[in-house]
Structure 1
Amino acid sequence: MASDGPSNAIDPSIFEYLKAHGEEELQVGDRLHQLTSALNRQVSVCQGLLSRIHSTPSSKLPPLLKQVEDDGIKPEIDTVGELAQFASQYPYYKYNGRWSRTVQSVVGTILLTAWLGGLGTDSNPGEIGRLLTIEEVGEILRVPTNLKDGDAFHITIEEYILALTDITEELSRLAMNSVTLGDVDLTVRISGFIKDLFAGFQLLNLKNDIVRKRVDAVKYHVKKVEDVIYDLSLRNLISKPEPSS
């Protein structure tokens, strides 16, 4: 006689659900990989163009920066827009690790280009030494910044700070190469900027280990440039301020 007790059969809808969601995650992952791969290629182009700053006097930077904007940053902006539109359909903190490092590099190219005098507007013409805020970076990329609620794609404070540490390393290298190019004034300007930036970092309460370590490393960039300035001072290549009467 058949038992009337409860069946031990598992509801097949459970596995149908798992299969459907597993396939969706694969599709999302594949699309994010496509977008970040395209963005990484554009970052490489941008960084390759920016590497020419080390052999270009500051007086001849404008044409180079225009090329950086047209061939590097504009494609980055377009792809970040595609990434933002797609990623905002899904939980931000589930997938943001897939693009965060790449976006940090994008922000770094924008910050460096602007600091060198690029990305100017009619109301705010480009000039050497201009540090964009995170909000200004967001406006250039046409994406939100530092969202506290919601799953929409955005630029985070962490990505911005890490990008700043990236450009201090690049600028410390430029400080030395500018001496070779006879552009001592640019070296002095870089020195002041990096020291001010590092002083600003000391005001932050950094809890993320990666960010804290990267910020701590900035002091070595400061030291490297200070050594260059010291050597220039010994050789009397830096004009000293006149004593006040």
Structure 2
Amino acid sequence: MSDTAMANATAGSPSPNVDPAIFSSLQAKIDQETAIKDELRNFVDMLSKQGRVTQSILSRVHNTPTEELEASVLVPCADSLSEQATTVKSLAEAASKYPFYKWNNIWQRDIQNVVSSLQLYDWLKSGNLITIEEVGQRLHVLVNVKDEDTFHITIEDYLLALTYTIEELSRLAPNAVTLGDYARPLQISKFVKDVHAGFQLLNLKNDILRRKNDALKYNVKKVEDVVYDLSLRGLIPKKG
């Protein structure tokens, strides 16, 4: 048999060393993972859409006088956050069927956004920082799960969300002055300093968190500059 004929015969017959079933099995696994991703993505897309509404409502704080905050921002924001909580709960129920750390990158940023919205909403309402446990209660999901591979909000999610909240408050400080609210920057200054001090107590392993922590001091300084300018102009409200 010629070399060409031998080559054609070899090409036409299956290789004894490669079983085509291997690739059929791999394709089945790919299809399965694609179906899981699509299932989870539907919830995440809904959460993202609702999150944009919530953030749009919260953004009104930058041009809303303090006395109008309740009706214009806090009430509609509470309703929007309630819708997000329902979606987060549905996402958690679906996602808990699968390994958490295999799929959590799909929803991680949107979860951080809703946590940040909760933090900002609660601060505007009470001046206090909502805890990670309270976040879990409000969203009806577990937090900081160590031994069970199920959906939960991680400490990293909570802390990264807090850095976004501080960035938003550092924007609010000068905008509050524009609206004639000279007390708000003082309130923000105390809060961001307290948060920054709290971050200094943490031994952070996460690279993103370390970078965000480094950026916190610039937000602190930004608010301090606003307070300093108010002080120079004699606009600091008198206590009592």
The TM-score with structure 1 as length reference comes to: 0.87
Q: Cα 1:21–1:235, aligned 2, differ >3 Å: closer, same or farther?
A: same
Pairwise CA RMSD: 1.7
Q: 1:153 aligns with which of 151, 154, 159?
A: 151
Aligned to 2:206: 208
Q: 1:69 aligns with which of 70, 74, 78?
A: 78
Matches within 5 A, 1:164-179: 164-179=162-177
Runs of 4+ in 1 over 6 A off after TM superposition: none
> d(CA) in 1 for partners of 2:215 and 2:168?
13
Q: Alignment identity in percent?
A: 52
Aligned to 2:12: none
State the Cα distance separating 1:49 from its structure 2 match.
0.6
Aligned to 1:35: 43
Aligned to 2:194: 196
Aligned to 1:90: 98
State the Cα distance separating 1:240 from its structure 2 match.
5.9
**Residue 80 (str. 1) matches residue 78 (str. 2):** no
Contact 2:204 2:210 (C-alpha < 8 Å) held by counterparts: yes
Task: State how many pairs are aligned.
Answer: 225
SS of the aligned residue for 2:193 comes to helix
> d(CA) in 2 for partners of 1:241 and 1:76?
39
State the Cα distance separating 1:18 from its structure 2 match.
2.5
> d(CA) in 1 for partners of 2:23 and 2:236?
73
> d(CA) in 1 for partners of 2:201 and 2:47?
33
Aligned to 2:58: 50
Contact 2:182 2:237 (C-alpha < 8 Å) held by counterparts: no
Where is the helix percentage greater, Structure 1 or Structure 2? Answer: 2
The letter for the 1-side match of 2:134 is E
Unaligned runs of 5+ in 2: 1-14
Larger radius of gyration: 2
- Output one character per residue of 1:144-163: Cα deviation in whole Å (capped at 9) or x when no partner: 00001121100000000001
